[in-house]
């Protein structure tokens, strides 16, 4: 069973020889300075060059890290294409928003539609095409930023959160526009060759929004995106940051195949509340950066025992995480499989 077959089966609750070990990309960054040094490909250049982006994504797999390739390596592509100002960061820091396109949800009609033919959106699509042309045995994961996170990057987030309550009619029109642009980008990634789409919405958490607004804005518009991708029959992963205790009922409404969680969520607890989804995660990114390989191996196996069907970091990797710690996720799961450890 190769890596692509294993993940496809895991996505649909089918039996596999062991859990896949992946890290999608996007907000769930899998690139470290160790990997950049080893491959000779670095940020910020790789954010702007399709060949370098594809090579760096592939280097992650070839160096024994994760069983997938994924692009891009940040969560600012959509916001930048809609008019936000973005700096490319550095070798250590990812790109981030430095200026906003609009000042209020009432200005939603002035937003620039995303272009798939220029800018970094085109770089991502070209990188996927390059990876697809290489006929790899590993899945290509295309990443999109979730609707709340994109919307709160196109405009100032504090104002945005206030207007979700105070200007609901325009807020929903704004969110519809943002979601529809994300759908276009996701479909373009599928057309370019992505096998799976991952959606990360770190600004759309139950902790930030509360259960009612979480359902009204985050869940509703994530589902709008997923439902528009059903014709392509793509596997979809959704990553939600923060605690789940107060929003398990709402999270269960998400139409994705897979739900991914931060390390603050006990996987065993999530397993009790979430029956429909394959669960993914959630090896501590703190341990991955500051721990040792033995501890990482133990945590990976614990995630499997506690109910994770797909093993992954709990969130995006710190760029200074040692390569040996990243490699320990796969190594721990493989050892447990070979030794027939009971899970």
Q: Which tens digit of pLDDT belongs to each residue from 239-289?
A: 999 888 899 999 999 999 999 999 999 999 999 999 999 999 999 999 999
Task: Kindly give the residue spans of alpha helices, DSSP state H, lying in 86-219.
Answer: 119-133, 147-154, 157-166, 168-192, 206-213
Q: Quick one: pLDDT at residue 342?
A: 67
Q: What is the pLDDT of residues 35-80, one digit of tens each?
A: 999 999 999 999 999 999 999 999 999 999 999 999 999 999 999 9
> At 339, is the pLDDT very low, low, confident or very high (cuts 50, 70, 90)?
confident
* Residue 101 CB coordination number (10 Å): 19
List the chain domain ranges: 3-8+18-335
**Whether domain 3-8+18-335 has CATH 3.20.20.210:** yes
Q: What is the pLDDT of residues 135-164, one digit of tens each?
A: 999 999 999 999 999 999 999 999 999 999
Q: Quick one: pLDDT at residue 341?
A: 67
Give dist(CA 86, CA 47) in Å, integer. 12
pTM for the model stands at: 0.96
Q: Quick one: pLDDT at residue 1?
A: 86
DSSP states along 40-100: T--TTGGGT-HHHHHHHHHHHHHTTS-SSEEE-SSS-HHHHHTT-EEE---SSS--EEEE-
Structure tokens, 160: 């945005």
Contact call for residues 78 and 114 (beta carbons, < 8 A): yes
Instruction: Quote the crossing angle between the two packed helices 147-154 and 168-192, to the nearest 10°.
Output: 110
Q: Is the pLDDT of residue 8 over 70?
A: yes
> At 343, is the pLDDT very low, low, confident or very high (cuts 50, 70, 90)?
low
pLDDT mean across residues, the chain: 95
> At 340, is the pLDDT very low, low, confident or very high (cuts 50, 70, 90)?
confident
Q: Quick one: pLDDT at residue 233?
A: 66
Residues paired with 86 in a beta bridge: 97
Q: What is the mean pLDDT of residues 220-228?
A: 96
Residue identified by tokens 């969680």 is 261
Helix (H, G, I), strand (E, B) or coil at 194: coil
Longest Cα–Cα distance in the chain? 59
Q: Quick one: pLDDT at residue 152?
A: 98
Q: What is the pLDDT of residues 71-120, one digit of tens each?
A: 999 999 999 999 999 999 999 999 999 999 999 999 999 999 999 999 99
Kindly compute the dihedral angle of the four CA atoms of residues 242, 243, 248, 252, in this order, to the nearest 10 degrees.
Answer: 30
Beta strand pairing call for 69-71 and 140-145: parallel
Q: Quick one: pLDDT at residue 230?
A: 75
Give dist(CA 244, CA 234) in Å, integer. 26
Q: Quick one: pLDDT at residue 282?
A: 94
Q: Quick one: pLDDT at residue 99?
A: 98
Q: Is 201 exposed, middle or buried (0-12, 13-18, 19+ CB in 10 A)?
A: buried
């Amino acid at each position: 069973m190769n890596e692509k077959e294993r993940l496809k089966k895991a996505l649909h609750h089918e039996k596999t020889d062991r859990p896949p070990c992946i890290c999608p990309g996007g907000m769930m960054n899998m690139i470290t300075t160790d990997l950049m040094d080893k491959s000779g490909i670095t940020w910020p250049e790789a954010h702007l060059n399709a060949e370098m982006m594809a090579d760096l994504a592939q280097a992650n797999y070839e160096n024994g890290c994760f069983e997938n390739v994924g692009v891009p390596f940040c969560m600012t592509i959509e916001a930048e294409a809609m008019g936000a100002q973005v700096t490319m960061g550095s070798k250590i820091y990812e790109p981030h928003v430095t200026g906003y396109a609009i000042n209020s949800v009432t200005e939603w009609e002035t937003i620039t539609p995303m272009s798939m033919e220029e800018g970094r959106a085109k770089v991502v699509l070209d990188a996927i095409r390059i990876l697809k042309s290489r006929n790899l045995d590993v899945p290509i994961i295309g990443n999109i930023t979730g609707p709340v996170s994109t919307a709160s990057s196109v405009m100032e987030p504090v104002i945005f959160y206030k207007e979700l309550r105070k200007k609901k009619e325009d807020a929903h029109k704004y969110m519809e526009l943002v979601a529809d642009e994300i759908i276009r980008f996701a479909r373009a990634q599928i057309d370019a060759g992505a096998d799976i789409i991952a959606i990360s919405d770190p600004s759309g958490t139950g902790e930030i929004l509360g259960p009612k607004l979480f359902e009204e804005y985050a869940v509703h518009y994530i589902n709008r995106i997923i439902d528009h991708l059903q014709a392509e029959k793509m596997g979809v992963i959704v990553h939600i940051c923060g605690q789940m205790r107060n929003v398990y009922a709402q999270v269960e409404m998400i139409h994705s195949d897979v739900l991914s969680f931060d390390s603050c969520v006990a996987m065993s607890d999530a397993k009790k509340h979430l029956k429909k989804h394959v669960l993914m995660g959630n090896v501590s990114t703190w341990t991955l950066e500051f721990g040792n390989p033995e501890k990482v191996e133990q945590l990976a196996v614990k995630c499997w025992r506690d109910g994770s069907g797909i093993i992954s970091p709990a969130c995006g990797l710190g760029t200074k995480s040692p390569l040996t710690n990243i490699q320990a996720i796969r190594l721990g799961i493989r050892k447990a499989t070979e030794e027939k450890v009971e899970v």
